[in-house]
Every structure is written in structure tokens, then in C-alpha cells.
A = this chain, B = another copy of it.
Amino acid sequence: MMSGFPSDLEIARAARIRPIPEIAAAAGINADAVELYGRFKAKIDPARLDAPPPAGKVVLVSAMSPTPAGEGKSTTTVGLADSLARAGHKVMIALREPSLGPVLGMKGGATGGGLSQVLPMDEINLHFTGDFHAITSANNALMALVDNHIYQGNALNIDPRRMTFKRVLDMNDRALREVVIGLGGPSQGVPRQDGFDITVASEIMAIFCLASDLADLRGRLGRITFGYSYDRAPVTVADLGVQGALTLLLKEAIKPNLVQTIAGTPALVHGGPFANIAHGCNSLIATQTARRLADIVVTEAGFGADLGAEKFMDIKARTAGLAPSAVVVVATVRALKMQGGMAKDQLTRLDLAALEAGVPNLRRHLRNVEKFGVTPIVAINKFGLDSQEELDWLLAWCAAEGVHAAVADVWGRGGGGDGGDELAALVARVVAGPNSFRHLYPLELSVEDKIRTIVQEIYGADGVDFSVPALKRLADIERNGWSGLPVCMAKTQYSFTDDASRLGAPKGFTIHVRDLLPKTGAGFIVALTGAVMTMPGLPAVPAALRMDVDDAGNPVGLT
């Protein structure tokens, strides 16, 4: 970001924010479906909503392989929706909720940026309407009930060494990654090795984001396999009989949250699962609620299109029975130059050769989108120091490739300004066209073949190599009757390979699956390709050190 430009928090606080009942009314939401949370947030009860069944078209915002700073998917999502609204379309945004842990650690916030933000950014970043706290509570209630069951006699014969479910906190807390619990003697529980994940990594978060209603939520919660018995049989939440209590703990949280962009576009911000060991999209209920209210719903999926878009198509869209109408692939000159081999600290330097060397990465993402029968549109997200020469070269390259593309300056000029007009026009044109969406693989394929299909078709790998434990797990999955589930790939977002340092569009590689995690409640099998961090740590100088409240009660230090 340019120095001298105000911070996201400063822009957000300077913005004119409208009372949320006005936003709800303008979005066509009947007042008795609106539950206010303060002045600028509301929960929408889908059961009380008078709107017709979901029919709005879905635009998925994804990205090329990103730099560590990210390429601005949320900013583009917000800005694109604002531009579509400006062009007269009835549009709604569906976005993930930010996690508190990273807010206190590195990032400061996750609600878009510049003039393309959802408001009130401070409240969304801090507790919001309490959804993640409810998910944390449900997750930890389950584990307290499980450990209590073991302590009280263990009628289910649970093997404390074979637990697959952990407690969670919405916190970056390195010291909780590996712990021993139940110490202190017979009155304090049964000792076992354990660990904590961050809340967004909880299977309950993934379930929350795939459930279609309360009944489906209860069913999925009941199907969670939290561990195995001494005779190696899966033990589920339904075996313990607490799916009702967990559903009760989530009954308010499951209603999507309505907020607004700086330009006044309605946004449902709801749920936020990890994009590696889960599918990385906002709640299905939010997406479907938005589709009841708007003609076009702009939403996003975590990481690049190899992960986020593939999972959106093969897991979320399949679960919801929805067919995306367009995929916006966010690209930046910086990221393309990095993919072309330029050093990370040099990316602001003009270098057309690096740009040219980087575009094969983008090309593979675009071709991948087409494999789902969906038309990709490149959103070139303009950063302050991008040169016009590079932007022009990239537009020309897209034209030569026969791909829709537009430069978007939704960060600096806003979608409420003219920063996303061209992009919005392209998107509107594609959305109005025919829809020939298809999944990449049928569920009837074996888990092994589903993984093989993804790594060959999407990543461009020669094949897949399963570790000995993974092969054993494949046999377990078959035996337990879980083969019909879709696959959720956990792979680095920085490369098409499972090696973060291999950039561009590599060929002649194999993907290594080291383990498989059946998430029988969420309804997918996670394939792990390398180490996945499910509990982040804090940096040497956490963002929390800058944070405070001023004398007027306003937040300080959320950037």
C-alpha cells in the first residue's frame, strides 16, 4: 500500500454507514426476518424470509497462485459487487467471517481493503455477532462430553490414543499445539496426548458452512467421527447422543449476518473454514439466502483457483446443487512476476520479462476453470506501483489468449466509484450467457481416483504417490463406507505442486499424499500433501501490541 494513503480502519471510520434496517429493506428483506445486532449488523432468519427460493446467479472470485500478502480476492469481491450495483444489478455479496487469532497476530483484519471494504470493519474483525464463539463452544462442549464419557466409565469403549477431534480456540496460540491433558490423578480425568486447533480449522466450522438448515446441521454434527474404539470402529457424535445439544449451541449462529460495503451494497458475512483442511468458503446458508434476494451473488473461495475454485465446484456447489455462472480469477502484476521468478523484494520493479515468464501460472488456472464448464474472467487487481506498461502488456496477453480481462482499481477508486466498471461489465455479460457447469469428477469414483483426477487435471501432475499410512487409510475409508465422499485437498497455495517453492506452471511432478482425514460430518475426505498448520503462532511483535480503544470508545490499531 502507498504511504500517505489512509489506513483501512481510517477509511472505514470515515465512511458513511447506513443503519442496517435500511440496507435490509433495500435488499428486499422483510423486517420480521431481521434480528439486529447493534446498529450496523443483523442476522437474517432464512426461515422467516419471504423471498422466493434460491435463483440468483453465482459469481465466484478466485485467484492465480498468490504471493504471501494475497492478491486481493476479498477486496475484488466487494469492489466487483459495488460496481455491479452501480450498473443497476440487484447484487449481494457472500463472504467469510474473519478469525480473531490472525487479527491479533499479523493481519489486523480481513474485510477487504481501501475503498472496497465491508463495514463496520472493527466489529466484523472483533467477535462480530459471536458465530465463531458459538462454534468454539460447540466444538469444546463436544470434547468435554467425550472426555467426560471416558472418565465416567467409557461405555463406548473409546480409545484415548485414537482421537481424531481436538479442542479449539479462536486464537493464534502456538503453545497449545501439542499438550497432555487429564493429568492430576483419578479425580481429574484420563491422561492423553492432545492438541488445540484454531476455530476455523474445526470440522464444526466446515459443517456450519455446508449445512442447508438446522435439520441438516444436526445430521452432519451427528455424523462427526471424533475417534475410534479399541476395536478400531469409528465413534460418532450420534453414538454419544449430543448432536442435539451441539445444534442448540449453534441455532442462532447459523443465521447469516447482514452488513454493508462502503458503497452500501448488502453483504452476508458468515462462516469461515480453513481453505486447506476444509473447503474455504462462507456458509452455504448465506450463499443460498443471498441467491433468494439478489440476481447476482458475488462470493469467494480461499487460496488460488487450484484449491479454492476446485473445492467450491466439487464440494460446495455439489452440496448446494448450484451452478456457478462465472469465475473471476484475480491476478496481480506482482504475483505474476513472482511466478516468473522475480525475488519477493523486487516485485515493484518494472520487468516485462518476469511478467511474461509468470503468465503460464495464470493460464493454467484459467484453463482449469474452463474444465468446470465455466467462463473465467481475469481481474487485474491494480496496486499503487504497477506500471501502465505492465498492465497493458497483461491485457494484451489475455486478449491473445482469448480470455476476458479488465484492470480493476477497486482498492484505490472503489467499486462505488468507477474502479470496477469494466470488470463488472464483463462479468454481467458472462453471467447473462449460457451455463454449462459440470463437476470435475463423479462421486462414484474411488477416493484414490478422485485424488488422481484432481492432481492430473487441475495441478498438472503426472500422478499421485500415496504414503504407506495413506494407503492404509484408503482401505479404512473403503471398509467404513466413506468412499462416496468428495475429496478436500490440503496443499500449499503457493504452487501447483506440493512444494511451495516450485512456481509458474510446473510439469513432470508427482503429488505426495501423506495421510487422509475422513471428515464424516462435513462430508469430505481431506488429503494431506505435506505439513498443514492448524494452530498458527503469533509473530515476535504481534499486532495486539498496537491495539487499544480511544477515549471516545473507538478502536485503535486495527489495520
A residues near B (Cβ < 8 Å) are 35-39, 43, 47, 100, 104, 123, 126-127, 129-130, 133-134, 136-137, 140-141, 143-145, 147-148, 151-153, 167, 169-184, 188-190, 214-215, 218, 241-242, 244-245, 247-249, 251-253, 537-538, 540, 542, 544-549, 551, 553, 555-558
Contact = CB atoms under 8 A, between A and B. Distances in A.
A315 to B, nearest CB: 26
Query: 10 tightest CB-CB pairs across the interface, nearest first?
Result: A244-B548, A133-B133, A178-B184, A245-B544, A175-B189, A147-B175, A130-B130, A36-B36, A144-B173, A245-B547
Residue of A143, A179, A253, A540 with most chain B CB atoms under a 10 A cut-off: A179
14 contacts: A37-B38, A100-B137, A104-B245, A126-B248, A127-B253, A129-B130, A144-B172, A151-B175, A153-B540, A176-B181, A178-B183, A179-B179, A215-B551, A244-B547
A556 B243 CA distance: 13
Contacts of A551: 215
Nearest to A153: B540
**How many identical chains are in the complex?**
2
A123 B181 CA distance: 31
Contacts of A557: 244-245, 248
A170 B137 contact: yes
A251 B123 CA distance: 10
Contacts of A169: 140, 167
Given A127-B134, A151-B174, 16 more contacts: A38-B252, A100-B137, A127-B133, A127-B253, A130-B133, A141-B544, A144-B175, A148-B175, A175-B189, A178-B184, A179-B180, A214-B553, A241-B545, A248-B549, A248-B556, A248-B558
Contact of A553 (B47, B190, B540, B546): B47
Contacts of A140: 169, 171, 173
A147 to B, nearest CB: 4
A339 B321 CA distance: 66
Contacts of A176: 167, 181
A251 B556 CA distance: 12
Contact of A137 (B129, B148, B171): B171
Contacts of A36: 36-38
A171 B137 CA distance: 8
B538 A148 contact: yes
Contacts of A174: 144, 147-148, 151, 182, 188-189
A530 to B, nearest CB: 15
A196 to B, nearest CB: 9
A559 B37 CA distance: 27
A218 to B, nearest CB: 7
Nearest to A104: B141
A172 to B, nearest CB: 6
Contact of A248 (B133, B188, B547): B547
A367 to B, nearest CB: 38
